[in-house]
Structure 1
Amino acid sequence: MASQVSSSGARLGCSGGSQSTAMQILRTPAPSRLRSGSGVACRAGEREVTLLDYGAGNVRSVRNAIKRCGYTIKDVESAADIASAERLVFPGVGAFGQAMEILKQRGYTQALRDYIQADRQFLGVCLGMQLLFEGSEESGGCEGLGLIPGMVSHFDTGMGLPVPHIGWNDLIQKRHSTLLSRVGDRRVYFVHSYHATPTPENADWVLATSEYGGEFVAAVQKGNVSATQFHPEKSGATGLDILSCFLDPEAAAASGVPPAAANGRPRGLAKRVIACLDVRANDNGDLVVTKGDQYDVRETGSTGEVRNLGKPVELAGRYFEEGADEVTFLNITGFRDFPLGDLPMLEVLRQASEGVFVPLTVGGGIREFTDGTGKHYSALQVAAEYFRSGADKVSIGSDAVYAVEAYLAAGGKKDGSTAIEQISRVYGAQAVVISIDPKRVYVASPDNTTHHTVKTPKPGPNGEQYCWWQCTVMGGREGRDVDAVQLAKAVEDLGAGEILLNCIDNDGVGQGFDCELVGAVADAVTIPVIASSGAGTPQHFTEVFQKTKAAAALAAGIFHRREVPITAVKEHLNATGIPARTA
């Protein structure tokens, strides 16, 4: 994975071995114009932002955040649009080398340099910041725009920290700036595998840094030119404040008051608390959020109806307001025959992204398929539709198990055909989450199986002291001859950037996460692991972070039913010295 992820965690390249397919997706024209609907009213007439969107990844959230701040959007369609822009935003997505290639092919490179060198109002985001530097070691080494001294390099995985660097981290502000005047002590959201390093040569540019195995550049500014490694559009209220300060610096200077500092709270990369929404159609065809015990989501009794815990968009909005660090939608019944035909779920993403400014993940049906007319769609095409609809990540379940079985049968060789490889190469490792659904299998001795075992304090039904975790498919209904550790290591090699680790034995029980399982998997990989299944109290979140290297923990039912508030979880984590975002 480390060699395949990009500046935003991505690596662009061939789709299923085809360079042209990947480039075609990136060159899909963006909508020519979006107009502001609701949000902050304009102070005086129409206000416009020019957006440089070359078609990769989820830029919908940037659009929605700009619109929320009360501005309209004009897309760059020619170099002349850059030259005439009053405010230019460049949310760079993809790999450094491919991004530079596209900018050159479209004739944008010199126009960008001229615009920035003229000290005009500019905001780059993530890769949009990195491209300002002299170059990157990514893509075999390539030149950037050369406006800021320094090179972009990969995080050192040898330090034991998960890469990509995903989550909410603190800013270390080097000097006062209107851009960050309202941030105060609040965290912002990062997702990247490559970074720039502060040096004496670029000190006049560096506005803020952050810490992750060492200090890296988090924001730059000189005059009217600004850029951030973090994603303001995914940094909640903090990010919206930053965007507002960029769009109207005069108003920000007049009214910006930073939030009060969170005195004494643990600093650094926060452990993420994720709200998960299991979404499916009920018997009337309406999409509802549901939850069950051991994957059974129907009510007991005579009706047997699908359990309804709320509407997806409304619940997602509630969790954003309550402080969830991310929101995950798992479509547990859709996409069986025609994934791109599931328009209601795509609309859920579109609507949720209008008001939820934290990362959104969607899972269910991320696979290749052939429709009723015989037309074939790749997993990459399916994922692309999700990203365009507002998803930041896609989650792959059963198909990841099948892909790993083929990978292992081939002796650990990759051929570029799997959904994991295709999506990772175009949208980045950070955009690919693998959802693993394992269950315990007890053995008397490690010699009784070829699978990765642990000695467990929870003996089996016949007193067995060892166990391994068998991966399942089809919503846990079918076991396969692959263990969770084996699968995690394989999907990391195939290009996945994160693992969502469920546990069938603990699902719906409320007795805590399976820390033995989480520990075994998190120790085996260098990508972040999300613990899932079993949370019942705030203490369960603290326990899994104290006992394992989990980067995040996810819950569903206890949040839906308001049994445990997200704020209570965050407060308990901070009280025990575990960093958690509280504002």
Structure 2
Amino acid sequence: MITLLDYGAGNVRSVINAVESLGETIRIASSGEDILAAERLIFPGVGAFGNMMRILNEKGFAAPLKAYLAADRPFLGICLGLQALFDGSAEAPGVTGLGFLPGTVKRFETDLSVPHIGWNGLNARKPSRILNGLSGREKVYFVHSYHVATDDASAVLTTTDYGNPFVSAVQKGNVIATQFHPEKSGETGLRILENFIRPDVAPYLPIGMSGTTRLAKRIIACLDVRSNDQGELVVTKGDQYDVREDGEVRNLGNPAALAGRYYRDGADEITFLNITGFRDFPLEDMPMIEVLKQTSRHVFVPLTIGGGIRDYTDKNGRRYTALEVAAEYFRSGADKVSIGSDAVYIVEEYLRTGRRTGESTIEAIARVYGNQAVVISVDPRRVYVASPGDTPHPVIETDFSGPNGEGYCWYQCTVKGGREGRDVDAVTLARVCETLGAGEILLNCIDRDGTNAGFDIELINAVKGAVTIPVIASSGAGCVAHFHEVFTRTQVESALAAGIFHREEVPIGELKRYLSGKVEIRL
């Protein structure tokens, strides 16, 4: 029997599904007594350090958890479940951690993008049973802005490089914790979980776990999901956002089944963009929530969901906050949420007032779940001008002149599925969203969508140069060479595609084999 400590924040469904996929039964700890009665305890900490410790103390979980750890009983902490073991965190000054290990948690100081998001390697510092069966070449999934700093070298199990080496796993006796997410690390993560659950093999130091680890470029499969005319949720794809063909919504497959195929093919992440027209309220769109639940049962890489994540008032006058909507998606299996049109309205208000409210969708979700959980989906289109002085917006000098020979352009943000332009540019929007707490930018391009002409390198470089958070390139990929181009001509961490994967014009496995040896990739 495995006990899982769920303090009520974030996606623990994926951990449950991963453990159950190994044939084990899992029990949720709902009291301090459940913690103390556990045979093996898994603690997947999610979100922000201060919020986590507040809830642990309010629910009476902190004291029994400290007692369980002090007794050297089998424990696996994940992500914040590792950081909680230490004295405190720079993310929440003055908030005391569990103090099981000496040290503090600090924010990354690096020229690289923060959060550290994606697949990276492990350097083993000592033997451990959870590393059994690993060759040292595997990559595991990270998503965090803070990392542990400790002088207790004996507790360090693995390190990983991101600018500088950081502690990526610790072990003291039977207490083990990882900064990475084994439940989101595919077959490698499942092996690590199984090693924790069934410690019947002597530990050893894997051969080859040495040297510098490198963050892999991510390949993300995107599934646009909407209701067709028969009321079924299907994967579709538009040309310049038009998803109909001969009057019917294009049906490219079942969302959960297609996500499963991409996982088996090697996709590093799966993104669902729910483009269905909602009824009164997105939580009534239960089929999409069910898609997430079904997918997380057999897909063990990160899942992002976008669509309808904003404040709502239903027909009965009840108000639901964006935080409540996001919470339902997280509890159903999502790891990140993507905010689109609402981000544009939030930025417009910020630019009008010049101040943060603390209550916007971006700020509220980031405060509870951490900025790594908030993705901003930007849908810009080119607006050509003859000279930079013709617009107050940041412009670029473009190699692709406009219809009247214009040599400059700016990127206008759109809302409502690209149907309405706003007086906000993509560079400004990305900067403001980072200020408000977003952790990643999904950068689409209406001009390139469905064209197979390649990514808009000029747009990507303009936005990437304006922010310090990771950027996902999207729209326009038509062949394997386009991915190589975007990874070598820009500094983006990941690239996303939809139609070419759905139609199997570029299988993910074939794409990764092509990129292998050219850029750092997870195979």
Which category describes the TM-score, using the shorter chain as reference length? over 0.9
Counterpart for residue 218 of structure 1 = 168
Aligned-pair distance for 1:99? 2.1
- 1:538-557 to structure 2, matched below 5 A, reads 538-557=480-499
Counterpart for residue 4 of structure 1 = none
The alignment partner of 2:482 has SS state of helix
Contact 1:322/1:567 (8 A) holds in 2: yes
1:208 maps to which of 124, 146, 158: 158
Contact 2:160/2:213 (8 A) holds in 1: no
- 1:302-381 to structure 2, matched below 5 A, reads 304-381=247-324
Counterpart for residue 99 of structure 1 = 52
Aligned-pair distance for 1:102? 2.3
1:191 maps to which of 143, 165, 179: 143
Please list the CA deviations of residues 443-481 of structure 1 after superposition, one character each: whole Å capped at 9, or x if unmatched. Answer: 111111111111111111111111111001111111111
Counterpart for residue 433 of structure 1 = 375
TM-score between both structures, scaled by the size of structure 2: 0.97
Counterpart for residue 115 of structure 1 = 68
2:226 maps to which of 277, 280, 283: 280
Counterpart for residue 176 of structure 1 = 127
Q: Which runs of 5+ in 1 are unaligned?
A: 1-47
Contact 2:161/2:213 (8 A) holds in 1: no
The alignment partner of 1:295 has SS state of coil
Fraction of identical pairs, as percent: 64
The alignment partner of 2:500 has SS state of helix
Q: Distance in 2 between matches of 1:101 and 1:262?
A: 37
Q: Distance in 1 between matches of 2:88 and 2:361?
A: 30
Q: Distance in 1 between matches of 2:69 and 2:392?
A: 59
The alignment partner of 1:133 has SS state of coil
Contact 1:334/1:365 (8 A) holds in 2: no
Contact 2:40/2:197 (8 A) holds in 1: yes
The alignment partner of 1:511 has SS state of coil
The alignment partner of 2:294 has SS state of helix
Counterpart for residue 7 of structure 1 = none
Counterpart for residue 456 of structure 2 = 514
Pick which of 396-405 and 327-336 moved more. Answer: 327-336
Please list the CA deviations of residues 233-290 of structure 1 after superposition, one character each: whole Å capped at 9, or x if unmatched. Answer: 111111011000000010x449x997x97999x9501111000001111111111111
Letter in 1 for 2:122: L
Letter in 1 for 2:522: R
The alignment partner of 1:143 has SS state of coil
Please list the CA deviations of residues 404-455 of structure 1 after superposition, one character each: whole Å capped at 9, or x if unmatched. Answer: 11110002x0112311111111111111111100001111111111111111
Q: Distance in 2 between matches of 1:295 and 1:97?
A: 41
Counterpart for residue 192 of structure 2 = 242
Structure 1 runs of 4+ off > 6 angstroms?
260-264
1:294 maps to which of 240, 244, 251: 240
Counterpart for residue 61 of structure 1 = 14
The alignment partner of 1:145 has SS state of coil
Contact 1:182/1:257 (8 A) holds in 2: no
Q: Distance in 1 between matches of 2:482 and 2:279?
A: 35
2:2 maps to which of 4, 24, 49: 49
Aligned-pair distance for 1:222? 2.0
Letter in 1 for 2:103: G
Contact 1:275/1:328 (8 A) holds in 2: yes
TM-aligned CA distance change 1:257 to 1:559, over 3 Å: farther
The alignment partner of 1:296 has SS state of coil
Counterpart for residue 80 of structure 2 = 127
Q: Is structure 2 residue 95 aligned with structure 1 residue 142?
A: yes
The alignment partner of 2:105 has SS state of strand
Pick which of 336-345 and 486-495 moved more. Answer: 336-345
Question: How big is the alpha-carbon RMSD for the aligned residues of Structure 1 and Structure 2?
Answer: 1.8
Q: Distance in 1 between matches of 2:205 and 2:253?
A: 37
Counterpart for residue 451 of structure 1 = 393
Contact 1:133/1:146 (8 A) holds in 2: yes
Letter in 2 for 1:451: H
Aligned residues: 522
Q: Is structure 2 residue 511 aligned with structure 1 residue 579?
A: no
TM-score between both structures, scaled by the size of structure 1: 0.87
Q: Is structure 2 residue 362 aligned with structure 1 residue 420?
A: yes
Aligned-pair distance for 1:103? 2.1
Contact 2:87/2:100 (8 A) holds in 1: yes
Contact 2:124/2:209 (8 A) holds in 1: no
1:530 maps to which of 464, 472, 476: 472
Contact 2:77/2:178 (8 A) holds in 1: yes
Letter in 2 for 1:191: V
Q: Is structure 2 residue 112 aligned with structure 1 residue 161?
A: yes
Q: Distance in 2 between matches of 1:183 and 1:524?
A: 39
Please list the CA deviations of residues 527-556 of structure 1 after superposition, one character each: whole Å capped at 9, or x if unmatched. Answer: 111000000111111111111121110000
Contact 2:122/2:209 (8 A) holds in 1: no
Counterpart for residue 9 of structure 1 = none
